[in-house]
Structure 1
Amino acid sequence: MDRQPIEKFKHAAKPAITSKLEEFRILGYEDMTEEKLWDFLKNKKWKKLDGILIHEVVSDILSVKISDFMNYTTIESYKDTNWFESAEGEDILKNLL
């Protein structure tokens, strides 16, 4: 079997993704979506891979822990936040200097 680009397996892995999302919903994480889960896997687990096999994709999906996802989400929200801008859009850093 040849390794394939990750995006090629998104449709084939849909049952595994659905199963994992149902698990998260049972645990009380109602706002989890297919796109959020897929982005987590692409950006965290598969970031440095050139290719992958379908059984590896399914295994990675089914092995995701909610704590890993939540840690990733928290770190990403810190990266996206502009800590030096107020709610009114005012640049606090300029005012400090």
Structure 2
Amino acid sequence: MKMHAYDIFFEEVEPAIDVKIDEFRFLGYEHVTRAQLWEYLKKKKWKTPKSTIRLFEIVEDVLGIKVGEFINYTTVEAYMDTEFSLENAEEMKELLK
């Protein structure tokens, strides 16, 4: 996978990521990982990296992740990753119900 400009901060902000993961677990989302949160930030919040980003801004972004937005993102990603084909007549009938 392609390296993101902010990947150099990952190890330094792991404690903040762990705090956010604890928040997710407290709310009943037991299977969220560091990698998933980091990928979410890279794809959604940090699409266009700033050249002068500071560590506190990265931590702020991590701690500012809203649970609902993350869950929506993972749901959409799961749908996008699902293989879907209209070649199977049964699948097409199921879709059209």
What are the Cα deviations for residues 12-60 of structure 1, in whole angstroms up to 9, with x where unaligned? Answer: 1011001000111111100001011111011110111143221111000
Cα separation, 2, equivalents of 1:92 and 1:49: 42
Paired position in structure 2 for 1:48: 48
Cα separation, 2, equivalents of 1:84 and 1:48: 33
> Unaligned stretches of 5+ in structure 2?
93-97
**TM-score, structure 2 as length reference:** 0.79
**TM-score, structure 1 as length reference:** 0.79
> Unaligned stretches of 5+ in structure 1?
86-90
Paired position in structure 1 for 2:79: 78
Q: Where do residues 16-27 of structure 1 align in structure 2 (5 Å cutoff)?
A: 16-27=16-27
Instruction: State the one-letter code of the partner of 1:34.
Output: R
Q: Which segment drifts farther, 9-18 or 49-58?
A: 49-58
Over aligned residue pairs, what C-alpha RMSD do you find?
A: 1.7
- Name the one with the larger helix percent: 2
Aligned residues: 85
